[in-house]
Structure 1
Amino acid sequence: MKLAHIVCAGVLLLAGGAAAQDGGKTAGDMAITKSTISLGTATPGGGFPVYGNAFAEVLNAADPTLSIEPRNTKGSSENIPLLETDGLDIALVAGEPSYEAFMGIGRAPTRLKILTAMYSSPGMFVVRADSPYKTIRDLVGQPVAFGAKGSGLPILSRYMLDGIGLKQDEDFKSIYLDRAGDGPAMVQDGRAAALWGAGIGWPGFKSMAESPGGARFIAPDAGEIAKVRAKHTFLKPLTVPANSYPNQPAAIDSIGSWSFVLARESLPDDVAYRLAKTLHGAEGALCKKLPQACETTAVNTAAAAPNVQLIHPGVLKYFREVGVVK
């Protein structure tokens, strides 16, 4: 028995020495492994890759055990099935495709979960400053770039136009882009009369507003907003604050929804918990990195989720611990 105790004491001493040589790490520290997480964004030139890159950079810096790797995709319409087949761990998805997937519109209800709300996306058109078009109805019959084929932007515009009695593919010469970044050049050289987009800090709007000739924005008026909301109640009244873009001195009222970072259903609870905790602690850093990401907060996530049960269980666990959700 004495020999056994001596052997055990020797093993413990050796273990303690190994820990000391490894910088004093505890057994718990040694057990932590780096989590590589794939993040689906969208086509280059749009808002999702800009956000996804900032999101990954800030969280990776905040938590060395995370390795979030952004990946360009075709956008929301591809991200949802990739998440559902575990082809991605997390992905950026616009509000309208998220809503349709959660509600089972045109498909079976998805089992994907919300990791965080990204930002609100008020939709509007942008035209050249010298354009004769002043209202949405002025654009009827004109070529309009409604966004990348796989993104959520054309879905938002379809709901908005339907609410005011217009059909996207019948009342307009609709253009769907292969790359989101191609839109501004098409408006500037006359191939398109207008470009549809959404959000604050959206690259297409920024590019148009900073162009030599300048740009103007066209959004639904108060009466049109009321009509849309009466028919499509999930859309929210949203505002683009004054000076969000160059030469935009007044606030612009519109409608839209919240975009989300969605997670595959099988994403482990502990990983989702770690992501939520890291993101909550890094909200300030993310806001400094990207203005539109200032809306990426735990409080906004709880408020923007159509149903709290759609939030990932690991995220909900953290939210309850910090009092964001009761």
Structure 2
Amino acid sequence: MGAGLGAVGVALAGCSGGSGPVRRLRLATGPEGGPYNAFGKALAQAVAASVSRLEIVPVSTSASVNNLRKLDDGSVELALAMADAAEDAVLGRESFTRPAAVTALARVYVNYTHLLVPADGPVRSVRDLAGRPVAAGATGSGVQVVAGRVLRSAGLSDGPAATREQQLGLAASAAALREGAVDAVFWSGGVPTPALSDLARELPLRFLPLDDHVGALRQSHGPVYTAVTLPAGVYGLAEPVGTIGVGNYLLARDDVPQGATRELLRVVFERWSDLLREVTAGARLEPRFAISTGQVPLHPGAVTYYRSVYG
């Protein structure tokens, strides 16, 4: 492993301009079968199909918080993460004991927070989760961050009303709901998320509205949270359901060469429809959207790219 990481370092250090060795960048994604993993693989394929001197190497992880730690410790050069976790990393709060070496390349799409329960069950609101077992995202995931904040906002994180949070990834969460091992599942991802579409065909689901919690989350954690809507038709929904939106950032260490970040962004903007096809339906990637990265500073190479292309 040490020799392999050393080879990556040599490739990074020895490449300049449009010639020379291929520059390999490791990208922390998410678990196999998840949207980050799908985006990472699609990005690696898009870069390989271009004339770029880059090679993207997707690395499977438990997602956002884990990715940010890997980015900070230098075990990857690129990462995907939810905006709330990324701001925590930059500011050195919550899961991070100090500010992390993290910069943004683009805000690429919005995650929709899903809170789903069996349609024929007793849970009809967040308050009804008091004392119940809830799948609240895998350890080190962004789902875990937003789920914990929603439950705190609802007064369900401690005391006699506290839910019994279980740290499960998406596949395990779906299986636990199907088997009755949990009464609810939190998930944050694109719409529709294929695994939840599959689950909805097996088990009638109710999606609980969360938009009433947006104001409290914004007050406590800033404008990374927005009100969005799960549209009618997805997952068999007869009516839209208001929920919480959180941006997803493509991130880089600040020591990644500017030429590499500019070349990567060129591919991202040329192939964005391919990158988002398996992640979230109907999304578009636009510069005014992409540069909205809040407290997370843009990488200098990203700043140069946006100025050169869009003025």
TM-score normalised to structure 2 length: 0.84
Q: Which shifted more, 314-323 or 247-256?
A: 247-256
Question: How far apart are the structure 2 equivalents of 1:265 and 1:276?
Answer: 15
Question: How far apart are the structure 2 equivalents of 1:156 and 1:38?
Answer: 26
Question: How far apart are the structure 2 equivalents of 1:58 and 1:94?
Answer: 22
In the other structure, the counterpart of 1:312 is 299
In the other structure, the counterpart of 1:69 is 57
Query: 1:185 corresponds to which letter in structure 2?
Result: A
Unaligned runs of 5+ in 1: 1-27
Q: Secondary structure at the match of 2:42?
A: helix
Question: How far apart are the structure 2 equivalents of 1:138 and 1:314?
Answer: 48
In the other structure, the counterpart of 1:217 is 207
1:205 Cα offset (Å): 2.6
Query: 2:138 corresponds to which letter in structure 1?
Result: A
The structure 1 residue matched to 2:178, chosen from 182, 188, 199, is 188
The structure 2 residue matched to 1:207, chosen from 198, 210, 220, is 198
Q: 1:97 to 1:240 in 2, by over 3 A?
A: same
Question: How far apart are the structure 2 equivalents of 1:268 and 1:168?
Answer: 46
Q: 1:228 to 1:287 in 2, by over 3 A?
A: closer
**Are 1:34 and 2:22 counterparts?**
yes
Question: How far apart are the structure 2 equivalents of 1:263 and 1:119?
Answer: 17
Question: How far apart are the structure 1 equivalents of 2:166 and 2:283?
Answer: 31
Q: Contact 1:40/1:79 (CA < 8 Å) preserved in 2? A: yes
% of aligned pairs identical? Answer: 23
For residues 12-55 of structure 1, the C-alpha deviation after alignment (integer angstroms, 9 at most, x for no partner) is: xxxxxxxxxxxxxxxx87x2542222111122343321222223
In the other structure, the counterpart of 1:302 is 291
Q: Secondary structure at the match of 1:68?
A: strand
Q: 1:295 to 1:153 in 2, by over 3 A?
A: farther
**Are 1:242 and 2:266 counterparts?**
no
1:242 Cα offset (Å): 1.5
The structure whose Rg is larger is 1
For residues 200-247 of structure 1, the C-alpha deviation after alignment (integer angstroms, 9 at most, x for no partner) is: 23344333223x23212112253x433333333334223234246230
Unaligned runs of 5+ in 2: 1-16
In the other structure, the counterpart of 1:57 is 45
Q: Secondary structure at the match of 1:201?
A: coil
Question: How far apart are the structure 2 equivalents of 1:263 and 1:136?
Answer: 36
Q: Which shifted more, 80-89 or 181-190?
A: 80-89
**Are 1:114 and 2:104 counterparts?**
yes
Q: Where do 1:244-263 residues align within 5 Å? A: 245-263=234-252
Q: Where do 1:169-184 residues align within 5 Å? A: 171-177=162-168, 179-184=169-174
Q: Secondary structure at the match of 2:236?
A: coil
Question: How far apart are the structure 1 equivalents of 2:207 and 2:249?
Answer: 25
In the other structure, the counterpart of 2:270 is 281
Question: How far apart are the structure 1 equivalents of 2:303 and 2:282?
Answer: 21
Q: Contact 2:79/2:251 (CA < 8 Å) preserved in 1? A: yes
In the other structure, the counterpart of 2:10 is none
Query: 1:58 corresponds to which letter in structure 2?
Result: A
TM-score normalised to structure 1 length: 0.80
Question: How far apart are the structure 1 equivalents of 2:237 and 2:114?
Answer: 13
Number of residue pairs matched by the alignment: 291
1:68 Cα offset (Å): 1.2
In the other structure, the counterpart of 1:198 is 188
Query: 1:73 corresponds to which letter in structure 2?
Result: T
Q: 1:202 to 1:238 in 2, by over 3 A?
A: farther
Q: Secondary structure at the match of 1:144?
A: strand
Q: 1:182 to 1:201 in 2, by over 3 A?
A: same
1:140 Cα offset (Å): 1.2
1:258 Cα offset (Å): 0.8
Question: How far apart are the structure 1 equivalents of 2:131 and 2:250?
Answer: 35
For residues 234-291 of structure 1, the C-alpha deviation after alignment (integer angstroms, 9 at most, x for no partner) is: 3422323424623023222222321212111211111011111121122233344543
**Are 1:93 and 2:84 counterparts?**
no
Q: Secondary structure at the match of 1:257?
A: strand
Q: Contact 2:92/2:100 (CA < 8 Å) preserved in 1? A: yes
Q: Secondary structure at the match of 1:116?
A: strand
In the other structure, the counterpart of 1:291 is 280
